[in-house]
A and B are shown apart, each in its own frame.
Chain A
């Protein structure tokens, strides 16, 4: 079992729609959860972090965490073509070692 699992996609949504990206993790001791965005040919950049159960909103992005289900999600509202990228879920157990999932490719169609 992989430590961090994501649906590789691609996920295709029309412009203006909500994109929903999901992630599960295996280590119940995980404490910190992140979403990174990676454009083709570029390095990952952090877009959201979440540390406690519930929702965290930042602009058009909402991260959701459910530790009991070991589940993290990212919602992107009013999706734009510029949101087309690979979204990486990352998890840290508190020892500053961050493990990444394989990423979900998102395409937003104009």
Chain B
């Protein structure tokens, strides 16, 4: 059990550029979540997958955000045409039936949009 891995740890980009983040969940965890966290706030739910199926996406999430989980293993989160308001920590978490609804978080990707 190597934990949830996220890459890159930091990303600095210019407004208008596209960025992609990767998350490798704990092996055999069938559920994978993406959250966004800004300073002083709790994690904000973005989307989650059970295996390769994206079961829910936040209504607050712009169409510029898209996530995939091909083959039910790793996941990618892409943000197109980034805006300064997208600057945040993007957290990935995973879980499985043995842990109920407990979430195990990765270290996150800190995005800064200049």
Contacts and interface: CB of A to CB of B under 8 A. Distances in A.
Nearest to A103: B42
A97 B100 contact: no
B91 to A, nearest CB: 6
Q: Tell me the dominant secondary structure on chain B's binding face.
A: strand
A30 B50 CA distance: 20
Interface stretch (A12-20, A66-74, A88-96): A88-96
Interface in B28-58: 31, 33, 35, 40-45, 48, 50, 55-56
Counting contact residues on chain A (CB < 8 A from B), the size range is 20 to 34
Nearest to B35: A100
A103 B40 CA distance: 8
Interface of B: 31, 33, 35, 40-45, 48, 50, 55-56, 91, 95, 100-108
Contact of B106 (A34, A43, A98, A99): A43
Contacts, number: 56
A1 to B, nearest CB: 15
B23 to A, nearest CB: 12
A interface majority secondary structure: strand
Given A43-B105, A97-B48, A98-B33, A32 B100 contact: yes
Contact of B102 (A42, A49, A99): A49
A99 B50 CA distance: 17
